[in-house]
Amino acid sequence: MNRTDTQYTGHGSEEATVTPAAQPCWLLKTAKAPKLGKHAEGGIAYQIATGSDRQEPMIQIAGNDGGGYFSKEAICFSRVVACLVQHPKGEPFPSKLFQGAFAGRSSNNAGFLAAILRAEGLLAAAPETEGRHLISGDWMAWKAALLAEPGQAINTPPVAQPDSSPESEIAASATEEEKAPPRRGKK
């Protein structure tokens, strides 16, 4: 099963996860995006990096000013784009549309990514539907401009890959349940 690093920042419960090995890359940008919730305070810290081949930006949520979990996995920009392919152009969409970009299971991931994309000028608030977004800006120009940045050499966790299907994850969890001792019923 493909696991990613998840960080606890205050509230709720999240299962422990394993951090994969680091790979060399270039840090292109570190910034903070304002949260999108109506009553939300603070912001979402994030980093944008690229591999040594400088072909694809990777976005990583780095911090949350408030409480709550988020996955610290670096996701390829192409995974973000893939989330929007099936959605009708020009139609508003909710943040949860981005859940497929992450291997991590935190429910905050998609909303935090939407906040980052708004801060980068790639999404805008839908005018007549609260909590929804519209695609804005020139995504290809944004990508080209970022990849042209000189950046700083760093190590980061590998990008989450869609290497496991939902079926294999279900099978893996079934195997784990078989190893657990049987539960006793009420008498």
CA distance 43 to 168: 36
What is the total count of domains within the chain? 1
The region of weakest confidence among 2-11, 18-27, 60-69, 153-162 is 2-11
Report which DSSP code applies to 128: T
186 part of a folded domain:
no
How far does CA 5 lie from the centroid of its chain?
Answer: 12
Q: Could you report the per-residue pLDDT of 55-101, keeping only the tens digit for each?
A: 999 999 999 998 778 999 999 999 999 999 989 999 999 999 999 99
Q: Concatenated DSSP letters for 35-58?
A: --STT--SEEEEEEEEETT--SEE
Residues 127 and 136 sit within 8 Å (Cβ to Cβ): no
> Which amino acid appears at position 114 of this protein?
A
114 part of a folded domain:
yes
187 part of a folded domain:
no
34 part of a folded domain:
yes
CA distance 62 to 46: 5
What residue numbers bound the domain in which 53 lies? Answer: 6-162
